[in-house]
Amino acid sequence: MKSVKDLVKAHGSIILLRRSLSLTTRALAEKTITIREAITQAMDEEITRDDRVFLMGEEVAQYDGAYKMSKGLWKKHGDKRIVDTPITEMGFAGIATGAAMAGLRPICEFMTFNFSMQAIDHVINSAAKTYYMSSGKVKVPIVFRGPNGAAAGVAAQHSQDYSTWYSQCPGLKVIAPYSAEDCRGLLKAAIRDDDPVVFLENELIYGQQFAISDEALSPDFVLPIGKGKIEREGKHITLASYSIGIKICLEAAKELEQNGIDCEVINLRTLRPLDEDIIKTSVKKTHHLVTVEFGWPQCSIGAEIIARICESDAFDYLDAPPIRVTGADVPLAYAKTLEQNSMPQVSNVLKSVKKVLNK
């Protein structure tokens, strides 16, 4: 057996190191895959399954994807199914949308959702609204996917979180997955769905390993769009979050456990349509709510959740005002300390939970 150091030298990749460790240290290994692998597999399977599905975007073919999300796909499926575009978002988002109107099923990748702003007219006016305007005559079965929100040290123009902008628009389905299972099941569902879908990934967790069941690895595994998941059951307080927010919620929950505080973590999975029932049921049980997200506070997903809770009978079950944890209300700085403190951390969640529980 090679030493760990040799493995690292040979492969130079943390992912493979962790893979090797898990293979050698856990004899009857539970399968794990990274989010990256989940997304690549999901695209591969759907492209194989349905002739009409194709992937279009910058560097998706010969470069294997800017973040390697389409690794191996061009070699396997060729030029027709995996299409490299010039750096012209408005143009290729329009072309992809037109192709969807004409019956194909494109996956349009934005290298990051920051660049989707160049093409946002097509996402909203050409894709989201057309089925309604045509009174059901023209479907737009397109998926716009790519990394959303902050990466590390990429500064303000490359770090915006578009969850709230897209989730505001009727006609779109907006998915913000967390785990590898979420990504597999929801991306496959999105590609099979006849409506336009915005699929918001997160670059910071592309490399994170997740346990995955055999069922979730089967080629017809799909998850329902519009349904959240209880990521961790608890009885004292509800933490409602999505995407990378779940990571800090789970870390906070682990710490709070030691203080005798039992958190229920709701993974929204889909932002539009929002699964308000899962949140209401949880709030009726725990009587306390904190929402957690990485986007800016004004008009945030948390603001929407709290409004809906207050407008419903779940309000009567609250023992304290619900509050939000969000990114700081500033464009994102480059310097490390500034950046770290502009994004929510476990400490923000701990503080908020304790405040709400009056501890």
Query: How many contiguous H segments (helices) and E segments (strands) does the chain have?
Result: 15, 14
- Closest approach, Cβ 311 to another protein, in A, equals 5
Interface with another protein includes 225 (CB under 8 A)?
A: yes
- How many alpha carbons lie under 13 Å from residue 278 in its C-beta half-sphere? 22
Q: Map the footprint of another protein across residues 56-75, applying CB under 8 A.
A: none
Choose, from 37, 46, 59, 89, the residue flagged as catalytic: 89
> Mind giving me the DSSP string for 99-152?
HHHTT-EEEEE-SSGGGGGGGHHIIIIIIITHHHHTTTS-----EEEEE-S--S
Candidate residues 9, 29, 49, 132; the one interacting with another protein per rule CB under 8 A: 132
Under the binding rule (CB under 8 A), the answer on residue 12 touching another protein is no
Residue number with CB closer to another protein (92 or 294): 92
Q: Choose between 207 and 273: whose C-beta lies nearer to another protein.
A: 273
> Comparing C-alpha atoms, which of 312, 293, 194, 295 is closest to residue 245?
293
Q: Is 174 helix (H, G, I), strand (E, B) or coil?
A: strand
- The residues in 92-131 that bind another protein, with binding defined as CB under 8 A, are 92-104, 121-122, 125-126, 130-131
- Given the structure tokens 């194989």, which residue do they identify? 48
Catalytic-residue membership of 89:
yes
Nearer to another protein, 96 or 212 (CB): 96
Smallest gap from residue 107 Cβ to another protein (A): 14
Smallest gap from Cβ 158 to another protein, in A, equals 22
Q: Buried (b) or exposed (e) across 115-145, using 16+ Cβ within 10 A?
A: bbbebbebbbebbbbbbeeeeeeeebbbbbb
Q: How far is the CB of 306 from another protein (least distance, A)?
A: 14
What's the rounded Cα separation, in Å, for the pair 209 and 142? 28
| Separation CA 244–CA 267 (nearest Å) | 10
DSSP 31: P
Exactly one of 50, 311, 319, 329 binds another protein (CB under 8 A); that residue is: 311
Judged by CB under 8 A, which of 6, 50, 194, 329 binds another protein?
A: 194
Secondary structure class of 45 (helix, strand, coil): helix
Spatial CA neighbour of 273 closest among 144, 132, 161, 173: 173
Check residue 144 for interaction with another protein (CB under 8 A): no
How many Cβ atoms are within 10 Å of 154's Cβ, its own excluded?
A: 15
Backbone angles phi, psi at 295, to 5 degrees: -75, 175
**Binding test (CB under 8 A) with another protein, winner from 145, 173, 247, 324:** 173
CB of 259 to another protein, least distance (A): 37
Query: In the complex, what is the shortest distance from the CB of residue 86 to another protein, in angstroms, rounded to a whole number?
Result: 6
Binding another protein (rule: CB under 8 A), the pick from 91, 217, 262, 315 is: 91
One residue of 138, 299, 330, 338 binding another protein per CB under 8 A: 138
- Count of positions on this chain that bind another protein (CB under 8 A): 47
Q: Which region, judged by CB under 8 A, interacts with another protein, from 166-174, 230-238, 242-250, 345-353?
A: 166-174
Instruction: Work out the widest C-alpha separation in the chain, in whole angstroms.
Output: 64
Span 226-245, contacts to another protein by CB under 8 A: 226-227
Which of these ranges, 191-199, 213-221, 237-245, 330-338, lies near another protein under the rule CB under 8 A?
A: 191-199
Smallest separation (angstroms) from another protein to the CB of 225: 6
> Is the torsion defined by CA of 290, 295, 298, 302 positive or negative?
negative
Sequence-distant (≥ 6) Cβ neighbours of residue 184 within 8 angstroms: 38, 39, 41, 42, 212, 216, 217, 221
Indicate which residues carry an active-site annotation.
89, 158
**What residues make contact with another protein under the rule CB under 8 A?**
54, 80, 83, 85-86, 88, 90-104, 121-122, 125-126, 130-139, 170-171, 173, 193-195, 224-227, 273, 311
